[in-house]
Amino acid sequence: MTIRFDNRVAIVTGAGNGIGKSHALALAALGAKVVVNDLGGTRDGSGGSLSAAETVVQEIKAKGGDAMANGANVAKYNEVEAMIEDAKKKWGRVDVLVNNAGILRDKSFAKMELDDFRLVLEVHLIGSVNCCKAAWETMREQNYGRIVLTSSSSGLFGNFGQSNYGAAKAAMVGLMNVLHHEGQKFNIRVNTLSRPRRRA
């Protein structure tokens, strides 16, 4: 069976590079229209630029796909709501949501400032919650939705210096488990992805 997303609209957060970019390119290759969301900041969340997202959009269009760039900060619900509305204005629907945006502020727990702990949770966890919440009613009305949350071996098994990141990534599993049950009758499927743990 060939999986296609023709006439579907996908939003991928953190899609300016890395895994998010791979998701965006893959979905476009399968026929989806893609919102390439990326704040364009550094790995620790500072700064911002739309250039990375725009570069991915150009790459998708060069291959015959359709995409738009978006610089919403996923930690801000009003910006996420506006992103969803922009997608619906342009294409009429939102079918797929890949929550991939994230930052790193690694330090041992003893040395970590609580502000750095909160900020990582805000981007990874609350950012994913914001995106799911903003898209949820549209997906219910359509009776169709596909949501992916991005976890990590740091959350599932632990990793030194990443108490903030690990806590956020472990929370993805709990969020998935509840949304799976609540979305079932509306044909909304929710999954979590994680890279395998590195061997010592």
Q: Look up the CATH number of the domain holding residue 46.
A: 3.40.50.720
User: Burial of 56 by CB count in 10 Å (0-12 exposed, 13-18 middle, 19+ buried)?
Assistant: buried
Q: Which of 11, 146, 165, 166 is catalytic?
A: 165
Give the chain's domain count: 1
165 given a catalytic annotation: yes
**Under 8 Å between Cβ of 151 and 101:** no
Q: Degrees (nearest 5) of the Cα angle 94, 100, 103?
A: 140
Residue whose structure tokens are 């996923």: 74
Q: Which domain holds residue 131?
A: 9-193
1 part of a folded domain: no
58 part of a folded domain: yes
pLDDT tens by residue, 96-144? 999 999 999 999 999 999 999 999 999 999 999 999 999 999 999 999 9
93 part of a folded domain: yes
Q: Residue 125 corresponds to which tokens in the numbers above?
A: 């966890």
172 part of a folded domain: yes
pLDDT tens by residue, 73-99? 999 999 999 999 999 999 999 999 999
pLDDT tens by residue, 14-60? 999 999 999 999 999 999 999 999 998 777 666 667 999 999 999 99
Beta bridge partners of 146: 96, 189
Q: Residue 26 corresponds to which tokens in the numbers above?
A: 């893959």
169 confidence band (pLDDT: 50, 70, 90): very high
2 part of a folded domain: no
